[in-house]
Structure 1
Amino acid sequence: VVVRLKGAVEATVRRYSDPERLVVDLSLKKEASTPAKALPDPPRSRPPKPPKPVVLLDPGHGGVDPGMVGYVVEKEVVLDVALRLERLLEREGIEVRLTRDRDMHLSPDKREDLSRRAALADSSQVNLFISLHVNATPTRTAQGVEVFYFGRAQDARVLTQVIRENGGGELGKRLTQEARTVAERILFDIVAQANQRYSQRLAETLGRKLSQTTGSPFRGTFPGDFFVLRYAKVPAVLVEMGFGDHPAEGRRLADPTYREKVAQGLLSGILTFLANGAYAR
């Protein structure tokens, strides 16, 4: 990195770890020959308010894409939870943006739809990106909360789930391979590695708080080659809030009172993460 400056400067260099980063402070050199005239004290004013954190919520699927269909329809549940969570976050003074606020798709083409959602997360104007989903399994026996962050899927079960969320079938396999190519670059990118660690921390916080609030088991956090997360420059996760095809959990997800608990659990996780200062603007 080359920085060109006008005038003589003094540079102070410091290196930090966790995450690995280099900090360079630049300041103008003081002129020793002519003493500077004292400036009058500036008028007292209140310090500027810190900018509001901005959370981007992505209710998955929508429009022509219903997502999983079991005891609930995924696109309906995640939109309802997102709107509830938006209301709760705004009460806390947090700005909220949505990739969709009604039953709609960003594009009827799945690749284009996911790309547009991903592009919204690749922005300096947001602090967190949270994609909301409802889980499913062929056996219809699993229940609980899972949260994913971007990275290479480490086992076959997660890979199957990633392919399904990336569109399923041959399309899902192709988009997963595209995302995997991006995931492999993280190994050589210090900034991306730091963001991945923050995303993993966000995933862990959300998963535990969501489980505590709803009583649903916390099944863990996992890396996954999710197409919608591949370009995020901020902490970004994909939340599977429960299994919509499980006889008990699926029926709970159909209950508005339970959905409010889900929103409350996500709120608690977001506030805890932000309170730790683990985000950048």
Structure 2
Amino acid sequence: MSFFMEVLLGGLLAGVMYSLVAIGFVLIYKASGVFNFAQGSMVLFAALTFVSLLERGLPFWVAFVLSLLSMLLLALLLERQVLRHLVNRPPITLFMATLGLSYVVEGVAQALWGAQVHGLDLGIEDTPLELGGLMLSRFDLFAAGSAGLLVLLLSLLFNKTRIGLSLRAVADDQLAALAVGIRLQRMWVLVWAVAGLVGLVAGLLWGARLGVQFSLSLIVLKALPVLIIGGFTSIGGAIVGGLIVGASEKLAEVYLGPLLSGGIENWFPYVLALLFLLLRPAGLFGERAIERV
């Protein structure tokens, strides 16, 4: 039983990190209706900027602040120079635009910082820690705590502040939000800036786990099952979806992997997402689209 709990808790802790990546998608999708496929490239850009500044001798917090400023600038440029001009275009146009932007962002990152692989040490060893008789990874606990704190701050921003109220109004009905004086462009810039912050934190945590390399941008693919299960419009859904994906893939790898020659962890979340698409297309907390014809 203790082994089962260790596997389950390890999966839940990993799921929090999946949720962190998925939240970046949810923020932008709720406010502008854009599925930002470039989110994975933003995670890579943030991690690569941070580790490159760190290797040049800058202190940790100075590198963090400069990386955050670079992400805010990147988010502002993407929104103002590209996506603002694509408002009210078909969804496939917006999707293709962000898909193209992902390659542009990766190319800019490579031009600025190079293509070599970097190791990133946040000072947290990935060693077991015994808690209540269970052995859990120190790094997983740290990563889950950091991600959980950021999620809490975002929840407070959206639910307890005037800015959050405006963002929720934009998400519910953009035309009604305009009618009551909310400036949509300002809200979109704010959302992209927050998504940049989320991308930076996710980039540091995943970069420390996997190394800062260009395959880090593929973490976007890990967020897709989370979004499908939780719903594309719900921050709470992204959290629950991440926990479900993290726990299910670890349990499947341990208990079903030996029967299927291993490797099940890589594709099991997509099978789970496919089942949700068949049975509950909007996800657990997503809003069902209603079209009047």
Greater RCO, CA 8 A, separation 6+:
2
- TM score, norm. by length of structure 2: 0.23
- TM score, norm. by length of structure 1: 0.24
Q: Which structure shows the bigger proportion of residues in helix conformation?
A: 2
Larger radius of gyration: 1
